[in-house]
């Protein structure tokens, strides 16, 4: 206990686990020191009573994050990456340690790993409710909560279907935004569904994604070919191939200060987003489509990405955001 709050049960300083935890929280940070502190404070205030390990992977930040963690959060297990290898790369640094440290005789269906962005704030009941949901849905390999932006709007990425060529076309052309209640046109973000209803989906978002270690054992780690977008979709795609289900479970609400980690590099972030779309298509859909169709789809992604870059460049500096 720390100041009356439940804190991680084991402080490891990077060493092996003394006892197998039920919940591992992995946070990837890059120059978001203040937001990370708020995120960690929300974890400390959680009503969780189960053993919990928190791992922060710092992607070569230059804002004093490591010193802050050492001074104010000594219970956090810190991995300091020598380079910013991207979101998947950093998460995998922690996931490899988690996989290696959990005893092989432990039932890994009950060992859970929460991927959490530093720009999120969990409610006091979030961890308990999310773990309880997964424990009551043994068929689920992944679950994600309701994510809202600071103004209360739903973060649409928290429940998605896979970006098939047809869904990607409706999204990139803006038809999904024009007709958010259409099952045909708004299939990617599922905006026609009640945001407070639990539903099986293709993917939730890596900003707050609870994953069963048994599913990770089967599907493998995140694909580091994705730098900062798309890796969560790809992971869900592979995990579902092993028969696991993915749920959007609004049993709790988590606030997501979306884009805070990438706002200073909006052009790079936009480029990474469309590169991820192209990579996802080449990996999962291109082998099943004729050459001409792939050329048209990839050209469309490139063209939409170029347009997004131009629009972003024309915005006033204070209005620039990730596309």
Q: What is the CATH number of the domain that holds 239?
A: 3.90.550.10
Gap between the Cα atoms of 230 and 190, Å rounded: 17
Q: Is residue 307 part of a domain?
A: yes
Tell me, yes or no, whether 183 lies in a domain: no
Task: Name the token pair of 33.
Answer: 């020191």
In a domain, 165, yes or no: no
Rounded Cα gap, residues 83 and 126, in angstroms: 32
**Last residue of some domain: 260, 289, 307?**
260
Residue of 120, 101, 118 whose CA lies nearest to 213: 101
211 plus 309 within the same structural domain: no
174 domain residue, yes or no: no
Q: Same structural domain for residues 211 and 294?
A: no
Are residue 217 and residue 314 in the same domain, yes or no? no
**pLDDT above 90: residue 133:** yes
Average pLDDT of the residues in 267-271: 82
Quote the mean pLDDT of the chain: 87
Q: Are residues 220 and 297 in the same domain?
A: no
Task: Give me the pLDDT at residue 318, please.
Answer: 54
Residue range of the domain that includes 284: 265-319
CA distance 167 to 150: 28
Lowest pLDDT segment from 75-79, 188-192, 299-303: 299-303
pLDDT at 1: 29
Domain identity same for 48 and 135: yes
Please tell me the total count of domains within the chain: 2
- Measured in whole angstroms, the distance separating CA 170 from the mean position of its chain's CA atoms is 23
| pLDDT score at 2 | 34
Confidence of residue 103 (pLDDT cuts 50, 70, 90): confident
Say which residues have a Cβ less than 8 Å from residue 293's Cβ, sequence separation at least 6: 165
pTM metric for this prediction: 0.86
Residues 68 and 129 in one domain: yes
SS3 content of the chain, % helix, strand, coil (to 5): 40, 20, 40
pLDDT > 50? residue 250: yes
Reduced to 3 states (helix: H, G, I; strand: E, B; else coil), residue 126 is helix
Residue 138 has pLDDT above 60, yes or no: yes
Verify that 209 and 284 share a domain, yes or no.
no
pLDDT digits (tens, 9 = 90+) for 173-231: 889 999 999 999 999 999 999 999 999 999 999 999 999 999 999 999 999 999 889 99
Is residue 188 domain-resident? Answer: no
What is the pLDDT at residue 34? 96
Q: Are residues 151 and 280 in the same domain?
A: no
- Res. 317 pLDDT band, cuts 50 70 90: low
C-alpha separations of 6 from 41, 50, 93, 159 in Å: 11, 9, 26, 30
Q: What is the dihedral of CA 263, 158, 239, 273, to 10 degrees?
A: -30
The predicted structure's pLDDT at residue 184: 94
Q: Where are the beta strands (DSSP E) in 169-316?
A: 199-201, 208-212, 245-256
Whether residue 240 sits in one domain with residue 272 = no
Last residue of a domain, one of 233, 260, 287: 260
Domain-ending residue, one of 260, 292, 310: 260
* Within a domain: 180: no
**Per-residue model confidence as pLDDT tens digits over 140-182:** 999 999 999 999 999 999 999 999 999 989 988 889 999 999 9
Based on the fold, state whether residues 52 and 73 are members of the same structural domain: yes
Amino acid 321: pLDDT: 45
256/278 same-domain check = no
pLDDT in tens, 27-75: 999 999 999 999 999 999 998 888 889 999 999 999 999 999 999 999 9
Q: Are residues 235 and 145 in the same domain?
A: yes
With respect to residue 150, please indicate whether it lies within any of the assigned structural domains: yes
As beta bridge partners, residue 124 has none
How confident is the model at residue 260, as a pLDDT? 52
């Amino acid at each position: 206990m720390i100041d009356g709050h439940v804190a991680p049960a084991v402080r490891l300083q990077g060493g092996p686990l003394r006892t197998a935890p039920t919940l591992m929280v992995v946070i990837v940070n890059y120059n978001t020191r203040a937001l990370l502190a708020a995120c960690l404070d929300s974890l400390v205030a959680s009503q969780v009573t189960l053993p919990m390990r928190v791992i922060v992977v710092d992607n070569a930040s230059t804002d004093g994050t490591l010193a802050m963690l050492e001074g104010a959060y000594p219970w956090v297990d810190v991995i300091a990456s020598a380079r910013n290898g991207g979101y998947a790369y950093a998460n995998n640094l922690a996931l490899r340690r988690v996989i290696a440290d959990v005893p092989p005789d432990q039932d890994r269906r009950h060992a859970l790993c929460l991927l959490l962005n530093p720009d999120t704030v969990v409610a006091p009941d979030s961890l308990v409710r999310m773990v309880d949901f997964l424990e009551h849905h043994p068929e689920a390999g992944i679950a994600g909560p309701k994510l809202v932006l600071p103004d209360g709007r739903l973060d649409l990425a928290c429940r998605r279907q896979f970006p098939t060529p047809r869904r990607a076309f409706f999204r990139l052309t803006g038809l999904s935004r024009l007709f958010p209640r259409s099952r045909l046109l708004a299939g990617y973000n599922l905006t026609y569904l009640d945001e407070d209803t639990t539903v099986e989906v293709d993917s939730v978002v890596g900003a707050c994604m609870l994953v069963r270690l048994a599913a990770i054992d089967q599907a493998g780690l995140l694909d580091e070919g994705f730098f900062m977008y798309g890796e969560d979709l790809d992971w869900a795609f592979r995990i579902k191939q092993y028969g696991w289900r993915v749920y959007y479970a609004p049993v709790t609400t988590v606030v997501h200060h979306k884009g805070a980690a990438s706002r200073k590099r909006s052009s790079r972030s936009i480029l990474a987003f469309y590169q991820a779309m192209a990579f996802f298509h080449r990996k999962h859909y291109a082998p099943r489509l004729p050459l001409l169709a792939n050329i048209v789809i990839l050209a469309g992604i490139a063209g939409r990405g170029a347009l997004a870059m131009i629009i972003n460049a024309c915005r006033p500096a204070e209005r620039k955001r990730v596309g």
